[in-house]
Amino acid sequence: MAGIYIHIPFCKQRCTYCAFVSGAPLFCRRKYVEVLKKEIESRLDKWVSVDTVYVGGGTPSMLERGMLKEIFDSLSKACDMRAKEITVECNPDSVDKEFCDEIISAGVNRVSIGLQTANDKLLKCVNRPHDLSSFLRAWESLSPIKNKSVDIMMGLPGQTIEDLASTVDFVTGLNPQHISAYSLTVEDGTVLKESGFVVDEDGEADMYDVMSDILNKKGYRRYEVSNFCLPGYESKHNSSYWDLSDYYGFGVSAHSLVKGVRIANTDDFDKYVGGDFVASKEKCDFVEEYIMLSLRTAAGLSISRLFDFGFDILNERKEQIERLVLSDLIYIDGDRIKLSDKAFYVMNDIITDLM
Query: Hey, how many other C-beta atoms are within 10 angstroms of the C-beta on 183?
Result: 15
Give the pLDDT score at 192: 77
Give the pLDDT score at 24: 80
Domain 286-354 class in CATH: mainly alpha
3 state SS of 89? strand
Query: Hey, how many other C-beta atoms are within 10 angstroms of the C-beta on 175?
Result: 10
Residue 75 and residue 250: Cα distance in Å, rounded?
Answer: 11
* Tens of pLDDT, residue by residue, the chain (355 residues): 899 999 999 988 778 887 776 678 888 999 999 999 999 999 999 999 999 999 999 899 999 999 999 999 999 999 999 999 999 999 999 999 999 999 999 999 999 999 999 999 999 988 888 899 999 999 999 999 999 999 999 999 999 999 999 999 999 999 999 999 998 887 887 887 888 888 788 888 899 999 999 999 999 999 999 999 999 999 999 999 999 999 999 999 999 999 999 999 999 999 999 999 999 999 999 999 999 999 999 999 999 999 999 999 999 999 999 999 999 999 999 999 999 988 877 898 999 999 8
Half-sphere exposure of 97 (CA within 13 A, CB side): 0
Contact status, residue 81 vs residue 50, Cβ threshold 8 Å = yes
| Domain locations along the chain | 2-241, 286-354
Bridge partner residues of 85 (DSSP): 52
Residue 355 Cα distances to 22, 244, 303, angstroms = 33, 16, 13
Residue 123 and residue 116: Cα distance in Å, rounded?
Answer: 8
Residue 349 and residue 329: Cα distance in Å, rounded?
Answer: 11
Residue 266 Cα distances to 2, 31, 32, 64, 263, angstroms = 22, 17, 14, 24, 10
Contact status, residue 318 vs residue 324, Cβ threshold 8 Å = no
Residue 133 and residue 257: Cα distance in Å, rounded?
Answer: 40
Beta strand pairing call for 227-229 and 247-250:
unpaired
Half-sphere exposure of 94 (CA within 13 A, CB side): 20
274 preceded by cis ω (within 30°)? Answer: no
List the beta strands (DSSP E) in the chain: 2-8, 49-57, 80-90, 110-116, 148-154, 178-183, 221-224, 227-229, 247-250, 255-258, 261-265, 278-283, 301-302, 330-333, 336-339
Domain 2-241 class in CATH: alpha beta
